[in-house]
């Protein structure tokens, strides 16, 4: 296949979409890896490369600095650091990719949590010469905390350790064991040299002992869809569609994006928090009537009965409906500059519902490097991860984050100025209770 054929294939074929995040510092070669992925998949176009070359030359660098592809802000270019998550897009004939490139140093936890929150896969980079270091453990912990389903360990700079298998094997083993203790279900370790291009897009000629996929091959083939039929259905109502036209005087459709599971026409459903019940009469997927729809489709649902339903309600199967609660315990990452304190009044946004809440307790602070817990910190500062106990003004149908990233997550918002304070995950922090204390209050 010629390059042009493959590009045309990319253009013409419907493909799946993978969202993934990269974590690692500049020293690990993250920018080089990202640049290599973009460059070798032909996603960097001539004018972008020329702009990067010009900018690199002006700074006295001979080789184009591929970090400049993603460091788009003036302040980032001036200081030579990445400040904010950058989103990059590239495609191969097999798949479309959305890459959240998270910076290594400034506001590191906040940015990696943000990038990981929507990622289905996280690439953690280590330098083969240094192996698993404190930062690697922090990256793994964030990926585990955010329940990123797949983790890739890219052992980079293999060229600097003579492409030696034992070096790779020892690092891979140590990391995989650590990841398993955090409950990360799927780790794929790949020996690479981002600089030389080994095992990033093309298989390496220097590591015959490695029989696995390149980074890109793995990204192209890792399954992106969990079977939604295994998850309980959750349908948060975003908006009520009422045309009130001559043709449709009585139409009431509940518009929303299915957060998890499968909805079927004829299914008995309960509307939370009210507890009223009905049956699904019709499902419309953006102009197409269907019998079955699933996450993450945006749909409009009609019910057999005329109920009082509004934005913020959640439609769930009557069988296995979750309990509603006003007492929430969870792990949070504090993302605002001002601290979160006990007694603070906040707004809590969960799916499409925003309610008043108060911080009842901050029982512990979690140290990401060794996962040790520090009791009663009193408050959480920017980039702290800790446990919080909340009481809400109204009941919520909250799932454990371990069961559903979509219906187990919430934001705390400052009611005074709307600042996003805290990213929250209901229930235990890690699989098996490591790093967590106690359980989701409603379970």
Partner 1 sequence: MSDDNPYALSHLDVLESEAVHIFREVAGEFERPVLLFSGGKDSIAMLHLALKAFAPAPLPFTLLHVDTGHNFPEVLEYRDRTVAAHGLRLHVASVQEFIDDGRLRERPDGTRNPLQTAPLLDAIERNRFDAVFGGGRRDEEKARAKERVFSLRDEFGGWDPRRQRPELWQLYNGRHAPGEHVRVFPLSNWTELDVWQYIAREKIELPEIYFAHEREVFQRNGMWLAPGDWGGPRDTEQVERRLVRYRTVGDMSCTGAVDSDAATVDTVIAEIAASRLTERGATRADDKLSEAAMEDRKREGYF
Angle of helix 108-117 versus helix 134-145 axis, rounded to 10: 40
Smallest distance from partner 1 to CB 255, Å: 5
Shortest distance in whole angstroms from residue 249 CB to partner 1: 12
| Shorter beta-carbon distance to partner 1: residue 104 or 191 | 104
Write down the least CB distance from residue 184 to partner 1, Å.
Answer: 19
Q: Is residue 179 within 8 Å of residue 213, measured between CB atoms?
A: no
- Say how far apart CA 410 and CA 3 lie, in whole Å: 45
Quote the least distance from Cβ 405 to partner 1, whole Å: 7
Of 84 and 127, nearer to partner 1 (C-beta) is 84
Query: Between residues 116 and 161, which has the closer beta carbon with respect to partner 1?
Result: 116
Residue 201: name the closest of 186, 188, 218 by CA. Answer: 218
Please, which residue, 96 or 206, has the CB nearer to partner 1?
A: 96
Nearer to partner 1, 225 or 323 (CB): 225
> How far is Cα 187 from Cα 154, in angstroms, rounded to an integer?
10
CB of 83 to partner 1, least distance (A): 7
> How far apart are the C-alpha atoms of 155 and 187, rounded to whole Å?
13
Structure tokens at 34: 């990202």
If one counts every other C-beta atom within 10 angstroms of the C-beta of residue 21, the result is 29
Q: Which residues pair with 100 in a beta bridge?
A: 21, 87
328 touches 363 (CB < 8 A): no
Q: Which is nearer to partner 1, 257 or 318 (CB)?
A: 257
Q: Which is nearer to partner 1, 71 or 384 (CB)?
A: 71
Residue owning tokens 């080994």: 198
Nearest-angstrom CA–CA distance, 195 and 115: 24
Which residue's CB is nearer to partner 1, number 94 or number 264? 94
| 320: DSSP letter | T
Closest separation between CB of residue 417 and partner 1, Å? 6
Q: Which is nearer to partner 1, 1 or 14 (CB)?
A: 14
425 vs 440, beta carbon nearer partner 1 = 425
**CA 295 → CA 20, 121, 148, distances in Å?**
19, 18, 17
**Among all chains, which residue has been given the structure tokens 């083993």?**
173
3-state helix, strand, coil in the chain (%, to 5): 25, 35, 45
Least Å distance, CB 423 to partner 1, is 5
Cβ atoms of residues 296 and 263 within 8 Å: no
Q: Closest approach of Cβ 415 to partner 1, in Å?
A: 8
Residue with tokens 């108060």: 358
Tell me the CA end-to-end span of the chain in Å, nearest whole number: 55
Shortest Å distance, C-beta 172 to partner 1: 27
Write the CA distances from 144 to 147, 151, 182, 371, integer angstroms: 5, 9, 6, 12
Give min distance, CB of 269 to partner 1, in A.
19
* Other residues' Cβ atoms within 10 Å of the Cβ of residue 282: 15
């Amino acid at each position: 296949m010629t390059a042009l054929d493959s590009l045309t294939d990319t253009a013409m074929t419907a493909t799946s979409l993978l969202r993934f995040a990269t974590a690692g510092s500049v020293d690990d070669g993250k920018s080089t890896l990202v640049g290599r992925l973009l460059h070798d998949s032909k996603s960097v176009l001539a004018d972008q490369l020329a702009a990067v070359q010009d900018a690199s030359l002006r700074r006295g660098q001979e080789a184009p600095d591929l970090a400049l592809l993603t460091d788009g802000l003036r302040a980032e270019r001036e200081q030579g650091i990445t400040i904010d998550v950058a989103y990059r897009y590239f495609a191969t004939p097999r798949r479309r990719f959305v890459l959240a490139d998270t910076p290594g140093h400034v506001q590191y936890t906040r940015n990696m949590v943000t990038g990981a929150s929507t990622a289905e896969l996280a690439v953690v980079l280590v330098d083969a010469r240094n192996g698993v270091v404190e930062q690697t453990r922090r990256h793994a912990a964030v990926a585990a905390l955010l329940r990123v389903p797949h983790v890739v360990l890219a052992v980079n700079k293999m060229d600097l350790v003579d492409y030696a298998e034992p070096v790779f094997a020892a690092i891979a083993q140590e990391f995989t064991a650590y990841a398993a203790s955090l409950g990360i279900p799927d780790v794929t370790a790949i020996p690479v040299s981002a600089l030389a291009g080994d095992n990033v897009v093309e298989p390496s000629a220097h590591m015959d002992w490695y029989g696995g996929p390149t980074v890109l091959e793995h990204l192209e083939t890792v399954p992106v869809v969990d079977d939604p039929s295994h998850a309980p259905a959750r349908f948060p109502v975003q908006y009520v569609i009422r045309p009130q036209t001559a043709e449709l005087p009585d139409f009431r459709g509940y518009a929303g994006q299915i957060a998890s599971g499968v909805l079927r026409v004829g299914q008995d459903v309960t509307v939370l928090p009210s507890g009223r019940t009905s049956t699904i009469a019709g499902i419309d997927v953006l102009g197409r009537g269907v019998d079955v729809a699933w996450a993450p489709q945006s749909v409009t649902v009609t019910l057999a009965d005329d109920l009082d339903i509004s934005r913020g309600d959640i439609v769930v199967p009557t069988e296995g409906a979750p309990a509603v609660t006003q007492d929430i315990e969870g792990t949070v990452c504090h993302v605002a500059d001002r601290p979160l304190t006990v007694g603070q009044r906040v707004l809590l946004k969960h799916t499409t519902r925003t309610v008043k809440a108060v911080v009842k307790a901050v029982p512990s602070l979690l140290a990401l490097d060794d996962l040790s817990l520090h009791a009663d910190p009193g408050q959480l500062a920017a980039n702290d991860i800790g446990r919080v106990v909340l009481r809400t003004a109204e009941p919520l149908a909250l799932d454990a984050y371990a069961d559903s990233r979509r219906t187990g997550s919430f934001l705390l918002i400052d009611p005074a100025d709307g600042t996003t304070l805290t990213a929250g995950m209901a229930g235990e922090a890690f699989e098996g209770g490591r790093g967590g204390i106690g359980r989701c209050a409603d379970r």
